[in-house]
Amino acid sequence: MSSRPLRRPMLRHARRWLAAGCVAAALAGCQPGPSQPKATAAIPGHPERIVSLNLCTDQLLLQLVEPQRIAAVSRLAHDPGLSVLEPQARALPAVRGDTEEVLLLKPDLVLVGRYTARYTTQMLRSLGIPVLEVPLASSLAEVQQQITLVADAVGESAKGRALVQALQQRQLELQQAAQQQAAPWPVAAERSWQGYSTGTGTLMNELIELAGYRNAGVEAGLTGYGYLPLERLVATHPDLMLTPDYASDMPSVVPRDQLHPALQHTALDSLTMQTRTTICGGLWSLDTAARMAQQRQGR
């Protein structure tokens, strides 16, 4: 039997599911894989035509250099649901990541993520285009390393140091506030698409702890990013339910009182997180931690 093409509503729905899966993985701060080859061409000291092919390198680049030096950003940078700096990115050309369209821009530096357009990355390197691969960040310390790496590569080390110092200062303020509250800390449960959550070794876990909460995923024994059965989540006796705002109409992202009978008559607070503030680490991530802290103080 011949297969029929997807109808437009079904196709749009499928795309949303695919996008949600990609975002969910990014939200987790996926664990670093094996190190990749370095750029085969020397990076100029002050590149003037920089192309970014990854959402997180888009955000880093937009904080460090003037728009005139950015030849293009990734298409995700134009999505207001995913990109904190979408207004700035919107004024710049956006690319899918095909080798041909990147070459037409005549870049003197291309920024990529570890899993960004692998074929394009390999082709650009083979053609002698300077490529900087920026590792994933699963902690605020690794976010700082990302900032320093990109700042040095684009010739803006001073700006990089200033960004790192601002992040460290905000992190310290949140840590001090959290340490002043009495134990035991309340429990925050993150429930994303299809019941996925975050445990130890993730940026989200660090943000939850900075806000003065224990992470339900950690309490349930979850490491990294993965599926957290509802029964195990309920057993942690959460005080706060965290859900993402991106693709909030997905069937698996439902109001907490519809999740499990044990949650229907509890004093469980809820907070909708802005996905764009957690998908790539930065000062905006600490804004999310601050919102959680405010929720805790209002209990």
- Angle at 88 (CA atoms; ends 87, 90), nearest 5 degrees: 65
pLDDT at 297: 79
pLDDT at 174: 96
pLDDT at 71: 98
pTM: 0.82
Q: Are 193 and 246 in contact (CB under 8 A)?
A: no
Pairing mode, if any, of strands 50-52 and 70-74?
parallel
- CATH classification (class only), 50-137: alpha beta
CA distance 93 to 112: 16
Residue 186, classed as helix, strand or coil, is: coil
Alpha carbon 10 to chain centroid, angstroms: 27
pLDDT digits (tens, 9 = 90+) for 32-86: 443 444 445 778 779 999 999 999 999 999 999 999 999 999 999 999 999 999 9
pLDDT at 111: 97
Percent of the chain exceeding pLDDT 90 equals 62
Residue 53, classed as helix, strand or coil, is: coil
CATH dotted code for 181-297:
3.40.50.1980
CA distance 125 to 110: 10
CA distance 271 to 246: 13
CA distance 143 to 38: 20
Q: What is the mean pLDDT of residues 245-270?
A: 60
Side chain identity at 39, as an amino acid letter?
A
Q: Are 216 and 190 in contact (CB under 8 A)?
A: yes
In this chain, the answer to whether the domains covering 50-137 and 181-297 adopt an identical fold is yes
pLDDT at 299: 60
Strand-pairing partners, residue 132, are 111
pLDDT digits (tens, 9 = 90+) for 98-108: 999 999 999 99
Confidence of residue 115 (pLDDT cuts 50, 70, 90): confident
Residue 124, classed as helix, strand or coil, is: helix
Domain ranges of the chain: 50-137, 181-297
Compute how many other C-beta atoms are within 10 angstroms of the C-beta atom of residue 229. Answer: 11
Confidence of residue 1 (pLDDT cuts 50, 70, 90): very low
Average pLDDT over all residues of the chain: 83
CA distance 291 to 242: 11
